[in-house]
Structure 1
Amino acid sequence: MSEQHKPRPRVAVVFGGRNSEHAVSILGAGSVLGVIDRSKYDVVPIGIAQDGRWVLASGEQRYEIESGELPAVDAASATLALTSGGGSLVAYDPGSIPLELGQVDVVFPVMHGPFAEDGTIQGLLEMAGVRYVGSGVLASSVGMDKGYMKLVLAAAGLPVGPYVTIRDRDWRTDRGRVLKEVQELGWPVFVKPARAGSSQGISKAANLEQLEQAIEFAREHDPKVLVEAAVTGREIECAVLESPGDEAPRASLPGEVLVHGDHEFFDFEAKYIGDDMSLSVPADIPQETAEELRAMAVRAFEALGCEGLARVDFFYTPDRRLIVNEINTMPGFTAMSVAPQLWAATGVSYAELVDRLIQLALGRSPGLR
């Protein structure tokens, strides 16, 4: 078959999901769908509704925040099933014959949080024999669970801040011991769901009363909670991109997150609502520190066994130490999100980044690797 008549790879852009980051995922998918090269790829937009149904997104699907209202997957569209052995998609529209949509060559899961970024959808796609963008099951799971992530990073020799992991049973049956362990971190502390993202469910506690309230708030998102000692320092972030072949992963220029207004930290509202954050790229830090940070970001990427892309977040302390805060295996992915901005400043445009990720996924064989 000539190149001229060779079928274009079919890319399914999957978004939404059954978690509190449903809308954030849709925002990112809208950006991806806006730049993906339609002359190079056959694109199928697929939403996962908040009740778990997979739907073929219609032209009515909204991908932006309008009048302060977050978008949601339009569940009125045709329901889909993903079959194993090649990744065929079949649309089931009530009252009609199923419509065969053909082979899917690669899935781009622009998804965040539990039942998505945590290895869940990656495992489903592995079982179906479908290539996909981003990290595999283990890296995705470890990257999502901040407690295990810190264990892996520390085992790899990377510096992490003091923390306490609070499991559901311990909080219910041995609360006094848990609170004593947390108090030993000193005040203030930051309390967050262990397996959530987009800065949801996070709060700051400066005393025991606030701590209990913060833990209960985090437990609304996840029964497993992480409490971190406050680290005095600037928030510096670095993106990492897998390289083709056997080349080492590449790190972007580091950038500093600046939060404005009344936000004490980089919370959900600062990230997605209003103009309360900005990114300074490259970060105003010594050159040798920037190079050390980029090397540490690649080490974190490889420690978890990441693929595709990731964003690694650091604290840069007044005494010039670097502390790894966390790694995100599927970071926020709108054109104005931190990771794409970091790559744009490093010389990789948003459209180029999307294309590289798809090509990397197409180059991988399904199954163990």
Structure 2
Amino acid sequence: MSRKSWIATSIFVTCMLAIASSAMAADQAQAENAASQERFSVEAWGQSFKSALKNNKSQDLLNLLDMKALEKQALTLSAENGKDKLEQARKLFAKKQFAEAMALYNQVPKGTDYWFNAVEEKGWTYFRQEDSEKALAQSKTLLSPQFSEVVNSEAYFLQSLTQLKICDYKGIFATHQMFKEKQKNRIVDVQNLAKSGMNEAYAKVINTTDQFPLLAKDLGDSFLHMPVLYYKDLEVQSALLKFKVSQKALDILKSQDSGFAKLQATLTKLNQDSFAKLKSRMIELASDETKENTKIVQKLNLIEVEAIQRIHTDLSLNDELYKKGKFKETDEDKLVFMDDGRPWIDELDKFEVSAKSCPQGIRRKM
């Protein structure tokens, strides 16, 4: 067996083992801080692959095509991204330990991938603590012009429900109008993704990605057409890494002499399988988000119906509560009039007010 054939056969066996392995990167608890490391580059990997191939360095080629080791190297997550704090806070929230949960939410660094989640969940924490003002402060941050198109649709539900709680009916309709204007296109795009697994924005990300792990700054305007935080999904990142590496290797092999047919076949299969995984995983993510969006829309509709009903009740009260029988008893020398804003002189200091308090709950189950 020639040396070149032996190299190709060895690489073929290693690649087959790598394809069979679905192991992801090492435990995050043991991960080094990615912020202090240089990110993995497919282009740089390709240069190493080309050099090893040219110089017949079989062990280097085997190492370069070890997908399990490659994932560990390329997909190491930063311990400073706030995800661990978020998960701890959620456990405390579930136990109704709201003050402790809030302290952890506040430790999620601003600008990290999970900061939006932390702000939204802080809003729900304040809501559960009956602090509507602070709950609205969180939702106002999320629905600011800078973020309103890319945040989770639940942020709109948080704001709308809090506004209902304080009887801000005008605010409810404004929030719902903003939801339609800012979220409709992305929701439709995600619905379509749930069927096809691919759209123009996703294809652009696949074609242009060079460095791993994926960061928000790499993704351009794909946020407007994709599920929230899709790029943090490890299955997406793993499939994309394998697709890009196998594609780069195949491009390099095309310029080489014969003798790598088995390796090319293996890499072609890896390339096809990883692309199929990119689509199937995106269908799963988009389907999950579509289900959640459907629930949010239903809840927003219920809130709107409730607000309309309460407004109608208020208008009815204006017509009915001024009637003689609704106030304290009057005798034959007294008359009762509805206040029209133009009192007579002798009516001053004779006002009686019938007021209803703002309901503190919602009659319908959300």
TM-score interval w.r.t. the shorter chain?
under 0.3
Choose 1 or 2 for highest CA Rg. 2
TM-score, normalising length: structure 2: 0.26
More helix by share: 2
More strand by share: 1
TM-score, normalising length: structure 1: 0.26
